[in-house]
Amino acid sequence: MKVLFICSGNATFNTLSPFIKVQAESLESEGVEVNFFYIKGKGVRNYLKNVPLLKKEIKTNHYDILHAHYALCGWVAVLTWTKLPIVLSLMGSDVFGDINEKGKRAFKSNLFVLLTRLVQPFVDVVIVKSSGMRAKITKKRHVYEIPNGIRMDQFRPLNYDARLKLGLDPNKQYVLFLANPDDPNKNIQLVQKAVKHLHREDLEFINIYKVSHETIVDYLNAVDVFTLCSYSEGSPNVVKEAMSCNCPMVVTPAGDAPWVIGNTPGCYVGSYDAKGFSEKLSQALNFASIHGRTKGRARIYELGLDGKHVAQQLESIYLDVTTPKNKEEMARQQEPISMS
């Protein structure tokens, strides 16, 4: 089977989003051939310029299926008027919109949310990352909830002293924030205020962004507590990655983060109030002092969030939509969109 991934090629740090790269690698390990079509340019107008380029790619090479990542990429695929099945993966921001510093949807993202709703009747399958996303989907049939998987061989407990490698003080405790500090949705102020609220001289806050996966793994093994403070997410991979490294954590109820951590000891769901978040942070730090690491890795395997398991689910969907009988049924079941 040959699949064409359609995705943005506008990132400055990584050309390909890490979770899409992992998904492709996992599919290839299952025997699926994956090629990439990178969309260049930002905004609706620039995305539309890629339609004739994608048409040419489809005509030049034989593909069994198109898999678009994010709603605007879905539109590029749809507007080629191809007869190939189209699978659309929605990620979170295209469903919920961009979030401002007040935790509300930014007005400018309303158009993109509308476009996400409008594209759904024209694709064969919609994949969402969490139950919260699924509740926002207007397409009623052929919608699958499949969180992104992670590479368990990459995000793992290390057999060396990561704290020593990074030059961190063995007599201090460290709290980690792994996101863009300038993104209002990531809400870095919450953990910064929570750390200050604890009034501890032996506690330090670390924020890293745009670093290699190897460096991230080192930090997830070196720090005492990882934190996620986002207002809105689909299925944040960083939570699964931290769990896979057995790192204690405090997360906000964004996306499927509470479901991912479950009742794992050492992992807590905090509020958006700095005082409440600091209380959970204190509990996580205390757990780290006494127990060291969690059993989060076992939780990831239990949920089937390893890359191999997710790839097998995707391959099953691909086989369904490329089977002639199923393709005819899907065509009959396409429904008009509800704008209610």
Residues 71 and 119: beta-carbon distance below 8 Å:
yes
CATH 3.40.50.2000 describes domain 162-302: yes
pLDDT exceeds 50 at position 87: yes
What pLDDT score does 41 carry? Answer: 84
Nearest residue to 61 via CA among 4, 15, 125, 136: 4
pLDDT in tens, 112-135: 889 999 999 999 999 999 888 898
pLDDT digits (tens, 9 = 90+) for 228-260: 999 999 899 999 999 999 999 999 999 999 999
Instruction: Please state which CATH class domain 2-149+306-332 belongs to.
Output: alpha beta
What's the CA gap between 96 and 150, in Å, rounded?
A: 23
Q: Crossing angle of helices 274-291/188-198, nearest 10°? A: 70
169-206 pLDDT, tens digit per residue, is 999 999 999 999 999 999 999 999 999 999 999 999 99
Nearest to 337 by CA among 144, 124, 119, 134: 119
Q: What is the distance between the alpha carbons of residues 207 and 238, in angstroms, rounded to a whole number?
A: 14
Query: What percent of the chain is predicted at pLDDT more than 70?
Result: 94
Q: Where are the domains of the chain?
A: 2-149+306-332, 162-302
Contact 168, 291 (CB under 8 A): no
For residues 7-18, average pLDDT: 74
